[in-house]
Every structure is written in structure tokens, then in C-alpha cells.
Amino acid sequence: MNPSPADVLLDLQKVLQERKSAPADKSYAASLYAKGLDTILKKVGEEAAETIIAAKNQDSSALVYEVADLWYHVMVLLADKDIPVTAVTDELARRMGTSGLAEKAARTK
């Protein structure tokens, strides 16, 4: 049986936390932490652009691959900032049941 999406994200978060004390030449995540925030943000931007290109090419397996790369690098960003993945899932859960259109109309600016 495949692991649940929540378990995958929590397991990856655990690995990314452990990699904070790993040597940069032994771990890709550790190498990103060592290079710093700008490098992590550049990777997030690159993977977002690659996701867009894959979607335009209408190749669903390539799109899944690029979204996985994007999610991975966003997870590295969250770990770098010490933000737990549950902060994001809690925010999504909080939004459930509120129409995006109604939320937008209620904004003051």
C-alpha cells in the first residue's frame, strides 16, 4: 500500500530536518542549506518555471516529476525557515469551506 500524502510530507520533513546537521558534500539538502536562502529561492523559482513548461507541453508524467521537484524545494525552504509543514496544511484546512471568490470579495484591499 502506498503511504498517505501526509506521511510522505512528514517523513520528508523529518529527513530535511536531520540534513541540517549533515555535511554539504553528503546531502543535496545540506548543500542547499550551506549555499543559503538565495540559492534555495532560485531553485524554487526554477522548479516553478519547469512546472509551467511541463504543463504547457501536456505531458502529465513530466508534470508530476516537476511538481515533485517543486514541492521538494518548497519543503527545503520551509525547513530552512523552521516552518513545519503542518503550518501550511493547517492554513489550507482553515480555508476549507470558504469560497475563494467570497474571500476575495471580503478583502479590504
Q: Does residue 51 interact with ligand PRT by CB under 6 A?
A: no
Among 24-32, 56-64, 82-90, 95-103, which window interacts with ligand PRT (CB under 6 A)? Answer: 24-32
The single residue among 8, 20, 28, 99 that binds ligand PRT, judged by CB under 6 A, is 28
Q: Is 29 one of the binding residues for ligand PRT (CB under 6 A)?
A: yes
Spatial contact of 76 and 10, defined as CB atoms under 8 Å apart: no
Residue of 65, 92, 76, 89 lying closest to 4 (CA atoms): 89
Nearby residues of 37 by Cβ (< 8 Å), 6 or more positions away: 80
**Binding residue for ligand PRT, selected from 6, 8, 15, 83, defined by CB under 6 A:** 15
Angle at 96 between CA 49 and CA 67, to 5 degrees: 20
Q: Is 72 in the site for ligand PRT (CB under 6 A)?
A: yes
Site for ligand PRT, rule CB under 6 A? 12, 15, 19, 27-30, 46, 69, 72
